[in-house]
Structure 1
Amino acid sequence: MAENNYAHLLPPSWKPQVTGWLAEDTPSFDYGGYVVGEAEREAHLLGKGGEAAVLAGVPFFTEVFTQLGCEVEWHMKEGDVFEPVKHVATVRGKARQILLGERVALNMLARASGIATKSKRILDLARSYGYEGIIAGTRKTTPGFRLVEKYAMLVGGIDPHRHDLSSMIMLKDNHIWSHGSITAAIQAARRVGGFSLLLEVEVQSEAEADEAIAAGADIVMLDNMPGPTLVSVARQLREKWAGKRQWKFESSGDVTEGNLRERAVPEVDILSTSAVHQGVRHVDFSLKIQKPK
């Protein structure tokens, strides 16, 4: 079986995003580059920090330096776990060009690796509890940086959930309140969504969940329900609808490492959380130009 290469998932638009990052960081003169000039140099990318981490963001890091005429040699694979301090990669090129890309590349790699590390930790924790369902991120991503954050979730081993409003039909409380009822909102969405899009509905109670199932939702999100209530609602509705309808239950809202055990139950198919990408501790990297021998 071929080795996973998540870079093959990236859309044609991703490289111009990197160009934009570089333009943002050097909008006019490169004063530091004037000082160092264009002597050929070698720089070591070091993975630092106090704990093991997952490497993520490799294609983006490489593209930063490719656009600057440099070469990157990786000494480990994306998705590998490393213990600090680790010589992760070597960058070769003109000193001025290496320093032009340094901060852009490190900022991206630090955040991507932090998300992948947190994703893997929560997934491993859920599996240790015997949970076999899906762990997913959310769409609460950073504007302009979603592609990297969703990519990092995949590297960390979890489901990135929907990427945008067009990826899946999700009817949340505001959609339902604006349209009048869960059933009416589902019917309206089905008319325009066609057969190829899954339809998910956010509910606040057992009664709302029951209505969503009856109206034909593919996924019912039990939003912000405490653990005991979540399990009770899921079990009762599975018993009621056994053999009549097929759907998935998703639990979302304040899903953390601390309360994961009470939510990681067989009755819930999907646990989605923004804890894998919001407020995540970044992984510390540095890029050190080596002195000429």
Structure 2
Amino acid sequence: MTSLSGQSEAPSKLKLSWAHLLPPAWEKKVQDWLEEDCPSFDWGGYVVGEDVKQAKLWCKSRGVLAGVPFFDEVFKRLDCQVKWNFEEGQLLAEGGSPKVHVATVKGPARKILLGERVALNTLARCSGVATASQDFLSTARAAGYKGIVAGTRKTTPGFRIVEKYGMLVGGVDAHRYDLSSMVMLKDNHIWSTGSIPAAVSAARSACGFSMRIDVEVQSLEEAQQAIEAGADVVMLDNMVGQELVNNAKSLKEQFAQKHRFLIESSGGIDVRNIGSGQHVDDSIDIISTSSIHQSTKHVDFSLKLLPAPAEASSTGV
């Protein structure tokens, strides 16, 4: 099994679940989604009524199954039950399988259809992010990269928890979850403050020892300033190829015995250029990318009600 940071896990007796990471109030978001999708009358639900039915969840494209807690919560709130045939994190429809029976939903027909679109949209998006994350990580490892792969904060407003969750299921690090998770000083912070040392000093005076400070830099000289000022992470932004590798190695050689810091590579990184080795070197500790969750292809799921069984004739024939 792969750990949340993309590293191999040691054997454990504990049954770990990504769902255990979710905060106490995440279920409230599901209620908001349902209310958004049906703000007044449910015309279609009126047609089908409340007879108890079953529906099969089908996966019709290759993908990593992710978003199970969200799917479950949708139908839990609608008095339906879900039985899964696969575990979260498993790869579905690999090898060109036309479709895979992933789960069965049982409950009143009206309520199954009431939750159908919300549940499918969430599962499709989360699984798409997980699939892109796993593919990126696998490509990076095949190219020889041994460090951390992380997804950025360029997520969809109101849907961040689903997209960050998908990254974790896909095996990559979620980087910072929000503005409170880590101090990141980008170009605008530095320009507003006047200098990298001034920005780092001001940040440290507020966040104290318990928060890491990540500084975005555009050159080797700026990276040197950030490290000397006390940055915990130095992000070499939009550097590629030999320039990136040379700068990363130079910084490690210059400061390894003086300061503790991590080097991050970011900016325009996707599965194509990571596969070509443009950002691969042992001196680079972190590769952060938004390609695993922006413009990511959804996994194709559908939910189909099973037809009612044919009634026996009154004559018994």
CA shift digits 1:211-253 (9 cap, x unpaired): 0011110000000112221111111111111311110000010
Count of aligned pairs between the two proteins? 291
> In structure 1, what is the Cα distance between the partners aligned to 2:120 and 2:148?
30
The aligned counterpart of 2:38 is 26
CA shift digits 1:25-48 (9 cap, x unpaired): 000000000000001100000000
CA shift digits 1:82-126 (9 cap, x unpaired): 114110000000000000000000000000000000000000111
RMSD between superposed Cα atoms in Å: 0.7
Please say if 1:16 is aligned against 2:38. no
> In structure 1, what is the Cα distance between the partners aligned to 2:166 and 2:25?
17
Residue aligned with 1:263, SS: coil
The aligned counterpart of 2:185 is 171
The aligned counterpart of 2:73 is 63
The aligned counterpart of 1:229 is 243
Matches within 5 A, 1:3-152: 3-49=15-61, 52-83=62-93, 84=97, 85-152=99-166
> In structure 2, what is the Cα distance between the partners aligned to 1:23 and 1:155?
27
Residue aligned with 1:72, SS: strand
Unaligned runs of 5+ in 2: 1-11, 310-317
The aligned counterpart of 2:282 is 266
Matches within 5 A, 1:208-223: 208-223=222-237
> In structure 1, what is the Cα distance between the partners aligned to 2:71 and 2:144?
36
> In structure 1, what is the Cα distance between the partners aligned to 2:259 and 2:131?
37
Code of the aligned partner of 1:276: I
Per the normalisation by structure 2, the TM-score is 0.91
Please say if 1:276 is aligned against 2:292. yes
Runs of 4+ in 1 over 3 A off after TM superposition: none
Residue aligned with 1:11, SS: coil
The aligned counterpart of 1:292 is 308
Code of the aligned partner of 1:256: D
Residue aligned with 1:190, SS: helix
Code of the aligned partner of 1:58: V
Shift of the alpha carbon at 1:4? 2.4
The aligned counterpart of 2:194 is 180
Residue aligned with 1:202, SS: strand
Please say if 1:196 is aligned against 2:210. yes
Per the normalisation by structure 1, the TM-score is 0.98
Residue aligned with 1:42, SS: strand
Residue aligned with 1:262, SS: coil
CA shift digits 1:234-290 (9 cap, x unpaired): 111111113111100000100011211220211100000000000000000000000
Please say if 1:242 is aligned against 2:256. yes
> In structure 2, what is the Cα distance between the partners aligned to 1:237 and 1:121?
30
Which of 89-98 and 257-266 deviates more?
A: 257-266
Give the greater-gyration-radius structure (CA).
2
Sequence identity of aligned pairs in percent? 58
Residue aligned with 2:130, SS: helix
> In structure 1, what is the Cα distance between the partners aligned to 2:256 and 2:111?
62
Residue aligned with 1:88, SS: strand
Shift of the alpha carbon at 1:194? 1.1
Shift of the alpha carbon at 1:136? 0.3
Code of the aligned partner of 1:290: L
Code of the aligned partner of 1:248: L
